[in-house]
Amino acid sequence: MGKDSDITEENEWKGAFALELKGYYFRTYNTVSPSFLKKIKVWVHRLGLHCVAVYRLSCFRRRLLRERRLITPLVSILYAICSYLVRVVYHVNIDSARIGPGLYIGHVGTIYIGPTRIGSNFSVTHNVTIGVGLAMGADDLPSIGDNVWVGTGSVITGGIKIGNNVTISAGSVLSRSVPDKYLVAGNPARVIMKNYDNSNFIIVPPEYRDKPVTTSEDPSESESAAASEAPTD
């Protein structure tokens, strides 16, 4: 990604953590404004929230580095400490990715996401690897759309495109592109169902449900290209 696109992404994701925090409250108590005590319980028991918070801290730090603010050294020290603890204690390393608002980590433990681009309302859980290595170029890394759910033990690798509203079942090994609204599963991953509704997995607070999905390319062209590569039986 070029410098200009990185700056644009940082600006677009201001306030992302506020949305994600509301998402954790809503998943736990079915409201975005629980009592103070319930908020504390979410922070204590939802370990994935710690990882999301540190990831957003890394985004904030990148913006400060570009703007050369005076508080940058202090934020960098705080980030270095928190990032180290997340990697060592939770075994989660996602800071090199570019992830849109609405990130949700269900369970921590052995989550690695390389320098990939991921859309909004991305949901992931433990034992997941996305991207194959920092030495590879951008064309060799996956790109993932909005409202994508990735199950436990999944591996996503290669220069593939995963569309919007895609569901990747637990234990899938995916190395081919997938169009919008597909359910895939298996090793290697195969198409299980088209036009699959994953709204039961991608839980978004009501006030954010009607916001349009953002894409960087023509949907029909994206779906046509991905469908030609989609893994089938």
183-185 and 190-193 strand pairing? antiparallel
Degrees to nearest 5, angle at CA 22 with 18 and 23 = 115
- The pTM of the full predicted model, rounded to 2 decimals, is 0.82
Question: Residue 49 is inside which H or E element, if any?
Answer: helix 47-67
Count the Cβ atoms, other than its own, within 10 Å of residue 224. Answer: 11
Residue 116: per-residue pLDDT:
92
pLDDT digits (tens, 9 = 90+) for 158-210: 999 999 999 999 999 999 999 999 999 999 999 999 999 998 888 887 666 55
Residue 232: per-residue pLDDT:
58
Mean pLDDT score, 91-106: 94
Mean pLDDT score, 36-55: 96
| Burial classification of residue 228, based on how many CB atoms lie within 10 Å of its CB (0-12 exposed, 13-18 middle, 19 or more buried) | exposed
- Using pLDDT thresholds of 50, 70 and 90, give the confidence band for residue 216: very low
In order of their start, the domains of the chain are: 3-207 (2.160.10.10)
Mean pLDDT score, 72-97: 94
Q: Higher pLDDT residue, 14 or 101?
A: 101
